[in-house]
Amino acid sequence: MSTPEASRFVRLRVELVLEVEDEDAVTKAALRRIASESGMPDAERAHAQSAVTEDTAEALAYLVDPFDLVSEVPGVELQQASWTSEQIDYDPDSPEWDLDEDDDGETSEDPYDERGADGIG
C-alpha cells in the first residue's frame, strides 16, 4: 500500500549466473550490437570491439541492457542503471550461491540496503 510519505523510487536488484555454452556466438552478437550503434566514435568502437573479443563477460555486458528489462513495464521509467559482468567459479551446490541469503534473518552489510543496522526497513 502506498502512502503519501512513501518514495516513488524503487531499487530492483537482480543477480544472474549464466552458463555460456557458445562463446563465439556471444562474441559475434556483441560485435553486431557494437557495429549497429550509430554515433559511436571510432576510437570507442575499436576499444569496445577489442574488449568483447577478448572477454566473454564483456561481450555479455554489451548484450544485456537493464533498459530492455523494464522498457515494457507499464507505469515505470528507468532513472538510473549500472551493471557489471565477470567470469566466476560457480558451484550450484555451494551454500555461497544461496539466492535467498537475505531471508535467513541476518542483516545485510550492503551500504545501499535501506534497512537499518537492526535489519528493519
6 belongs to a structural domain: no
pLDDT band at 89 (very low <50, low <70, confident <90, very high): confident
pLDDT grade for 95, boundaries at 50, 70 and 90: confident
Residues of the domain holding 55 = 23-74+85-93
CA gap 64, 86 in Å, rounded: 13
Residue 113 lies in a domain: no
Query: Is 18 among the domain residues?
Result: no
pLDDT value, residue 5: 74
* CA dist 41 → 16, 36, 44, 49, 73 (Å): 31, 12, 5, 12, 32
Q: 105 lies in a domain?
A: no
The predicted model gives 66-83 an average pLDDT of 91
* Domain presence at residue 7: no
Q: How many domains does the chain have?
A: 1
Phi/psi class of residue 39: alpha, beta or left (left: φ > 0; alpha: ψ in -120 to 50)?
left
In a domain, 49, yes or no: yes
Q: What is residue 3's predicted lDDT score, i.e. its pLDDT?
A: 58
Whole-prediction pTM: 0.66
**79 is a domain residue:** no
Q: Taking residues 98-109, report their average pLDDT.
A: 53
Cell of 68: 530492455
